[in-house]
Amino acid sequence: MSHTVMVTGADGFIGSHLTEELVRSGERVKAFCYYNSFNSCGWIDTLPPEIRDEIEIFMGDIRDPNGVRTAMAGQERVYHLAALIAIPFSYHSPDSYVDTNIKGTLNVLQAARDLGTQRLMITSTSEVYGTARYVPIDEHHPYQGQSPYSATKIGADRLAESFYRSFDLPVSIVRPFNAYGPRQSARAVIPTIIIQLLAGRTEIRLGNLTATRDFNYVKDTAAGFMAIADCAEAVGQEINIATGREISIGELADELIRQINPAAKVVCEEQRLRPAKSEVERLLGDATKLRQMTGWAPRYTFEEGLAETVAFLRGHLDSYKIDAYNL
């Protein structure tokens, strides 16, 4: 049976993939996109016509409770992905992260409570865990606010928990580890490496090379969200989406260099380094809870996901500013 569903942040990276997959699965989808004077719906504008034409667009601002409530009226399920996510930008504009990530989430939670929304998925991030104190990281791992970004996501998560405990709101906290794939911005490390290589650069400019991450292909991430929405047992739970595999940024860069341009080398740029106590050195996730609850498992290998990403970026290189460091 199909549902009326809304995706906030639908114009972004994960949100556009989730929106596309929801349409393909037969759901009736409303895309909550960030209002702008260019009338741009972000990556939604690039979807195939047979997908795009099935989507209802709502232009709004997650920080405004009135627009959020209006958009959510009549929606049985809401996936809340709208957020500010760039960690470097959070260092010099933390107020905007509080307004968007905490107040924006509160707006969604309050509207869901008032409107009787049947299922609500709040998007967390593996950054809330900070540098791993043990691996693999399960949902019992302590939270560490190692950046203003992660601190605001911790706050949003705890608000979601409070609405479940206080008002029986049918909410799940969905915690994806590092998603990657087509449409990701150059502020993320995988597209940063690939676009420099595809543009013929022989010095690949990066930050910390020893940090490790658990990279999950974006279509598998979207499938995790949808599996959680369908699982009654997931209500009130915090659930990781992870592969259980880690790779260092240096190893990742070496592999992509080998595949695309073996003549290239990595150069570490100081402006790309986080402050020492803010750097998350290791993230390796445990998705046992998700697998046991839903049967979810990644469908893409890391090699397959990278190949899809390279192919996309090769065809969209003109959309990226190759030599600019994107906060």
Q: Is residue 81 part of a domain?
A: yes
- Identify whether residues 228 and 116 lie together within a single domain: yes
- Identify whether residues 205 and 222 lie together within a single domain: no
Residue 263's CATH number: 3.90.25.10
Answer whether residue 324 shows pLDDT above 90: no
> Which pLDDT score is estimated for 210?
97
Across the range 296-325, mean pLDDT stands at 95
Round to whole Å and give the CA distance between 179 and 169: 27
Q: Is residue 176 part of a domain?
A: yes
Q: Is residue 294 part of a domain?
A: no
Q: Is residue 49 part of a domain?
A: yes
- Identify whether residues 84 and 142 lie together within a single domain: yes
Residue 170's CATH number: 3.40.50.720
Q: Which domain holds residue 107?
A: 4-180+216-241
Residue 199 identity:
A
pLDDT in tens, 273-304: 999 999 999 999 999 999 999 999 999 999 99
Q: Is residue 96 part of a domain?
A: yes
Tell me the pLDDT band of 327, cut-offs 50, 70 and 90: confident
Which residues lie closer than 8 Å to 84 by C-beta, 6 or more apart?
A: 90, 96, 97, 100, 101, 149
- Identify whether residues 99 and 18 lie together within a single domain: yes
> Which pLDDT score is estimated for 326?
74
* Number of separate domains in the chain: 2
Q: Is residue 222 part of a domain?
A: yes
- pTM: predicted TM-score of the whole model, two decimal places: 0.97
- Identify whether residues 159 and 39 lie together within a single domain: yes
Q: Which of 3, 56, 44, 55 is nearest to 27 (CA)?
A: 3
- Identify whether residues 251 and 144 lie together within a single domain: no
Looking up tokens 């449409």 gives 183
pLDDT in tens, 200-250: 999 999 999 999 999 999 999 999 999 999 999 999 999 999 999 999 999
The token pair at 261 is 């341009």
- Identify whether residues 84 and 121 lie together within a single domain: yes
Q: Is residue 76 part of a domain?
A: yes
pLDDT in tens, 151-200: 999 999 999 999 999 999 999 999 999 999 999 999 899 999 999 999 99
Answer whether residue 325 shows pLDDT above 90: no
- Identify whether residues 158 and 48 lie together within a single domain: yes
pLDDT in tens, 18-27: 999 999 999 9
Work out the angle at residue 122's Cα, subtended by the Cα atoms of residues 121 and 125, and round it to the nearest 5 degrees. Answer: 125
More confident residue, 296 or 1: 296
- Identify whether residues 33 and 165 lie together within a single domain: yes
- Identify whether residues 205 and 315 lie together within a single domain: yes
- Identify whether residues 32 and 126 lie together within a single domain: yes
- Identify whether residues 21 and 111 lie together within a single domain: yes
